[in-house]
Structure 1
Amino acid sequence: MAEHSDGAIRGILFDVDGTLVDTNYLHTLAWWQAFRRFGHDVPMASIHRTIGMGGSTLIEHLIGEDRDTDQDETLKDTHGALFSAQWPALRAFDGAADLLRHSAQQGLAVVLATSASEEELRVLRQVIDADDAITGATNATDTGISKPAPDILEAAMKVADLTPQDTLFIGDAVWDVIAANKLGIPTICVTTGGTSEAELREAGAVEVYKDVRTLLNAAAAGKLHGLQHRSEGNNR
């Protein structure tokens, strides 16, 4: 993986859905049900491929620009209500909390970069159970245009006073990589969101791991240079 020129990464932005918490297929089902309630028969496979986009972008991508846009907010609210019914079943991926703590122990800022609602973010943080390692987080009120636009990442960097040159992003979707690429931020991906390694690498991911635990093991072994050299960069 390519390092920044001085090797001093100061912070890591973490996508949450599909990266730290196992939610992508639950989101897919909730969107499928929401679309059906409003007369849109959208295949689940098509929906899954858009998970990682923000709600408005996802809706436009799936049912087109010529849709009744007055329906968008109701569709998003319906998806949110259906997804919230699954909150008691949410689980963090194995190693998610450990990865955040490992990153914090290296002196890195840890920022959750999500466009989830404030209430949903609260639930996700409880599920991850690593608030002691989290510097800050974004939510829907902090962001403008959703991924694949880079607004969410720009808002997340502001939380910890980061720049693209001293930031890494960890995500699971092609849309994560595209958004980060627009800012020049390198992205490490996991495949736990259901997107293949080949697709993630084609989008521009610099490293891809099968899951968070495997990524953490690589970091602990010193194989992720962005995580490895923070303290060295501080001492220069």
Structure 2
Amino acid sequence: MDSFTVNKAIIFDLDGTIWNSIPYRIHAWQLAFRDYGMDTDPEVIRLMIGYPGSMLIKKMNAKDPEIEKTEEKYFEKMLNDVKFYPDVEKTFHDLKKLGFKIAIVTSSRRNMVEKIKIEADAIVTMDDVSSGKPDPEAYLKAIKIVGSTPSRTIVVGDIDNDLIPAKKLGCIAILVNHGLQKKSENKDYEIKDIHEILDIIQSLNWK
């Protein structure tokens, strides 16, 4: 397929990338594990945010998959306090003016994502795929939905787990750090704030 006949696309991770949910996720997981008689290190949980919940449960040497549902119940009670980063709405608006299709690929469950308003052309959740990140399945599905190709797609995430599938597929990978120290072996670019994506796009000179 000719690159000039397909849509330009940009895929965003949700938690910690465009949505300031990480502290709330950590607290919800701590409460959930506590209900099952387990005290947990918040730093270990933080490093696992963005992976499927089943992987975090395994990391904590727990076995009951219901812990994930308990975490969702706690997190849902916090939703009113969770906000998108301040520059997200305007950046999405500017990206659409530039002709980009916007997709969200998240390890969150669909019933949770449907409770928040996201202005995106496609949303792929953990419930829509058989393998979660860093498997590229969700990214391929999002790219297909928006009518793009990997070579015309940018992926934005806050951890390396978001960027590994981007590099496997041949997408451009952007790490957003929101002022925190981050490490990634798979990033093509690193930015502090979401709006800086626009400068990178200008340098790419995509038509």
**Aligned partner of residue 189 in structure 1, secondary structure:** strand
AA aligned to 1:123 is K
The TM-score, its normalising length taken from structure 1, stands at 0.78
Over 3 Å counting, the alpha-carbon distance change for 1:195 and 1:77 in structure 2 is farther
**Aligned partner of residue 33 in structure 2, secondary structure:** helix
Question: Equivalences for 1:179-190 in 2 at 5 Å?
Answer: 179-190=165-176
Equivalent of residue 196 in structure 1, options 181, 187, 205:
181
Equivalent of residue 164 in structure 1, options 150, 154, 166:
150
Q: Deviations along 1:92-129, whole A, 9 cap, x unmatched?
A: 101101111111111111111123333321233x2x5x
Q: Deviations along 1:76-102, whole A, 9 cap, x unmatched?
A: 100100100101111110110111111
Q: Does the Cα contact within 8 Å between 1:137 and 1:159 map onto a contact in 2?
A: no
Q: Does the Cα contact within 8 Å between 1:17 and 1:23 map onto a contact in 2?
A: yes
Distance of 1:102 and 1:40 partners within structure 2: 45
After TM superposition, give the deviation of residue 13 of structure 1 in Å.
Answer: 0.6
Equivalent of residue 115 in structure 1, options 107, 114, 120:
107
AA aligned to 1:106 is L
Question: Equivalences for 1:119-130 in 2 at 5 Å?
Answer: 119-124=111-116, 126=117, 128=118
Q: Counterpart of 1:224?
A: 200
Q: Deviations along 1:22-54, whole A, 9 cap, x unmatched?
A: 001111111111112212322001110111111
Q: How many residues align?
A: 204
Identity of aligned residues (%): 24
Question: Equivalences for 1:23-172 in 2 at 5 Å?
Answer: 23-60=21-58, 62-64=59-61, 67-68=62-63, 71-72=64-65, 74-124=66-116, 126=117, 128=118, 131=119, 134-172=120-158
After TM superposition, give the deviation of residue 182 of structure 1 in Å.
Answer: 2.5
Any runs of at least 4 consecutive aligned residues in structure 1 with deviations exceeding 4 A, and if so which? none
AA aligned to 1:55 is G
Over 3 Å counting, the alpha-carbon distance change for 1:227 and 1:106 in structure 2 is farther
Equivalent of residue 15 in structure 2, options 3, 14, 17:
17
After TM superposition, give the deviation of residue 14 of structure 1 in Å.
Answer: 0.9
AA aligned to 2:26 is T
Q: Does the Cα contact within 8 Å between 2:28 and 2:71 map onto a contact in 1?
A: yes
Q: Does the Cα contact within 8 Å between 1:13 and 1:168 map onto a contact in 2?
A: yes
The structure with the greater share of residues assigned to helix is 1
**Aligned partner of residue 123 in structure 1, secondary structure:** coil
Q: Counterpart of 2:187?
A: 205
Over 3 Å counting, the alpha-carbon distance change for 1:186 and 1:195 in structure 2 is farther
Over 3 Å counting, the alpha-carbon distance change for 1:196 and 1:142 in structure 2 is same
**Aligned partner of residue 114 in structure 2, secondary structure:** helix
AA aligned to 1:211 is D
Q: Which runs of no fewer than 5 residues in structure 1 stay unpaired?
A: 232-236
Distance of 1:40 and 1:183 partners within structure 2: 39
Distance of 2:46 and 2:14 partners within structure 1: 16
Q: Counterpart of 1:234?
A: none
Over the residues paired in the alignment, what is the CA RMSD in angstroms? 2.3
**Aligned partner of residue 49 in structure 1, secondary structure:** helix
Distance of 1:114 and 1:227 partners within structure 2: 27
After TM superposition, give the deviation of residue 227 of structure 1 in Å.
Answer: 7.4
